[in-house]
Amino acid sequence: MLDRRDACPATVQPGEGLPSMASLAGKLGIVFGVANKRSIAWAIAQAWHQAGAKLAFTYQGERLKENVEELAGTFGADTLILPCDVTMDDEITQVFARVGEKFGKLHLLLHSVAFAPREALEGDFLSTSREAFRIAHDVSAYSLVALARGAAPIMTDGGSIVAMTYYGSEKVVPHYNVMGVAKASLEASTRYLAYDLGPKKIRVNCISAGPVNTLAARGISGFGEMLKHYEAHAPLKRNVLPDELGATGAFLASDGAAAITGQVIYVDCGYQVMGM
């Protein structure tokens, strides 16, 4: 007879997860885009860790080093934490060299990085400067190509690459401006990378998240109204929770998603299906 306690253990150890949760036991991953505890990257990293993955982290610059050390350090004192500005080819090369030395291989990569100069997210899209357009695309879209190329040689058992996107890539969201155009490029890059890396069993997918109150969202004027708009209009009548992005990230990383590649998965309480 199966005891109820066996079916539903009271303490969940890393790697065990919940009965419904896919296992990432034995998988090695790297996370780009943790700035603080509110970062979407941190929510997905926690889900990956809880599912049993061993993770390395990168941070953008000295300014964020301490934050990432404090968060990632909770996964063990030996957690690999490396600097990486994704616009710097030599830093990307260094990261994958160090990960190769420490892990020997890699299965998972999270891209949760975006930036456009503030002024480009304030006025109209028509005013976007050549430099703001270049920076937004370099940081937010090209970086996925560069990171995938760095990771592929050590993803020798196949792998799962997950990138974060937003609905402003396909419909006009006032003030999202050049970020919307960069996210369209990120999503198209995901499809072309899925084609190139498919033969190596490396999958590449995007999660399109509804608005979440993070550092990147804060300070964007009207963000509070945007959260209320989603609450009123999304089929589920609420906003997405960071844990729910974590759960989707864990699914896409898992063997349960083995036949899913090149896709954009909407984790937005259904907002994307609405026509009015």
Distances (CA, A) of 176 to 38, 100, 120, 136, 232: 20, 37, 8, 11, 20
The residue (of 20 and 221) whose beta carbon lies closer to ligand 0WE is 221
C-beta of residue 207 within 8 angstroms of C-beta of residue 267: yes
Of residues 123-182, those binding ligand NAD (CB under 6 A): 139, 164-166
Please pick, from the candidates 163, 179, 252, 267, the single residue that binds ligand 0WE as defined by CB under 6 A: 179
Nearest alpha carbon to residue 50 among 85, 16, 90? 16
First and final C-alpha spacing in the chain: 53
Euclidean distance between CA atoms 164 and 264, whole angstroms: 9
The residue (of 46 and 208) whose beta carbon lies closer to ligand 0WE is 208
Task: Give the total of residues touching ligand NAD (CB under 6 A).
Answer: 27
Euclidean distance between CA atoms 16 and 24, whole angstroms: 9
40 is an interface residue for ligand 0WE by CB under 6 A: no
Shortest Cβ distance from residue 51 to ligand 0WE (Å)?
Answer: 25
CB under 5 to 8 A by kind: which of ligand NAD, ligand 0WE, none does 116 bind? ligand 0WE
CB under 5 to 8 A by kind: which of ligand NAD, ligand 0WE, none does 251 bind? none
Euclidean distance between CA atoms 54 and 82, whole angstroms: 15
Segment near ligand 0WE (CB under 6 A); pick from 37-45, 109-117, 127-135, 149-157: 109-117
Instruction: Out of 59, 142, 167, 176, pick the active-site residue.
Output: 176
195 as an active site residue: the answer is: no
Segment near ligand NAD (CB under 6 A); pick from 34-42, 101-109, 152-160, 194-202: 34-42
Q: Which residues contact 199 (CB under 8 A, 6 or more apart)?
A: none
- CA 254 to chain centroid: 15
176 as an active site residue: the answer is: yes
Query: SS3 sequence, 75-117?
Result: HCCCCCEEECCCCCHHHHHHHHHHHHHHHCCCCEEEECCCCCC
118 is an interface residue for ligand 0WE by CB under 6 A: yes
51 is an interface residue for ligand 0WE by CB under 6 A: no
Euclidean distance between CA atoms 10 and 140, whole angstroms: 41
Residues of this chain that interact with ligand NAD (CB under 6 A) are 33-35, 39-41, 60, 64, 84-87, 112-115, 139, 164-166, 209, 211-212, 214-217
Give the catalytic positions in this structure. Answer: 166, 176
